[in-house]
Amino acid sequence: MLPEPNELLATARVVALPLVTRFRGIDVREAVLFEGPEGWTEFSPFAEYDDDEASAWLEAAIDYGWTTPPPALRDRIPVNATVPAVDPDSVAAVLARFPGCRTAKVKVASPDQTLAQDVARVRAVREALGPEGRIRVDANAGWNVDEAEHAIHALAPFDLEYVEQPCASIAELVEIRRRTKYMGVPIAADESVRRADDPLAVAEAGAADLLVIKAQPLGGIHRALELIGRTGLPVVVSSALDTSVGIAMGAQLAASVTSLEFDCGLGTASLLAADVTRSPLLPEQGSIPVGRVLPDPALLDRYAASPERTEWWFERLVRCHAVLAGRVTP
């Protein structure tokens, strides 16, 4: 059963959390938190997403707040550090926020930066982690096929674990995977899974070696687990710059995956300068715990969004609810 909008809004709080470093073009992360029978949950699609896409995030929030989660197979999740598009001199300070993490995901292909800057950043990460550290890069679909081939060739000497979403389309991923196979650098798909009409299309086309899975964009833990089971590909469970409430949802998903071969992208609370709990899910010895997060009322008040932004989010939630209600078979 789909809860009514008033039931969701009864406990809903909108927060605006500052980031440590500009990330994805934003300095403040906004989110809606509300409480269901199973506990607190999060609805935080990015502002540019339309209601149809954002409705999957609301479906995920309801799934986590109103549905019993699947059994956890592990109680801690190993996580990676996330390095934004910073200067090389800032890399050590960024990595210091992720104590014990042996893996780093490095943002590349930013439209306002060059490949030379990307190479310098990845080099700095390799020097900081040493030869045993693992490095993955995330282009967020920022390259065309030719640019991706050139960039992967330039970055391959740093012993990449994989390249995440180098190009936008599935056809481009198929082509870049074919062109770079000789380098031995795996290709991971993210946006081509979570923003696709058919999330299975990537696996069916042979466009990726592994998938980056996020609970909110895929409609929740149960839907994500179903997708993972149908693709047969290894996965990296990641977050979408969530609060610790949303990260806990991702950690529950990661805890329920049968085989977890890669460190997960669930250490992103370290990118926030503030959170909604006194015990944020920050990495400790390279991992985070599995379990529900209870927001602190004082922090919800301190980081409450403006009345205008709160109204904007509440109206968005109601519209997304209408999208979900239209899909429910009477």
From the annotation, which residues make up the binding site for Mg(2+)? 138, 164, 190
Instruction: Give the C-alpha separation, 86 to 94, whole Å.
Output: 9
Burial readout 255-286 (b: 16 or more C-beta within 10 A, e: otherwise)? bbbeebebbbbbbbbbbbebbbbeebbbbeeb
Instruction: Give the C-alpha separation, 43 to 53, whole Å.
Output: 12
Instruction: Give the C-alpha separation, 69 to 25, whole Å.
Output: 33
Instruction: Tell me which amino acid residue 226 is.
Output: E
Active site residues: 107, 214
Q: Any idea what DSSP says for residue 109? A: -
Instruction: Give the C-alpha separation, 87 to 95, whole Å.
Output: 13
User: 20, 269 in Cβ contact below 8 A?
Assistant: no
Beta bridge partner(s), residue 106: 83, 137
Residue-by-residue DSSP string for 13-34: EEEEEEEEEEETTEEEEEEEEE
Pairing of β 26-36 and β 13-23: antiparallel
Give binding residues as ranges.
Answer: 138, 164, 190
Q: Degrees (nearest 5) of the Cα angle 65, 74, 40?
A: 15
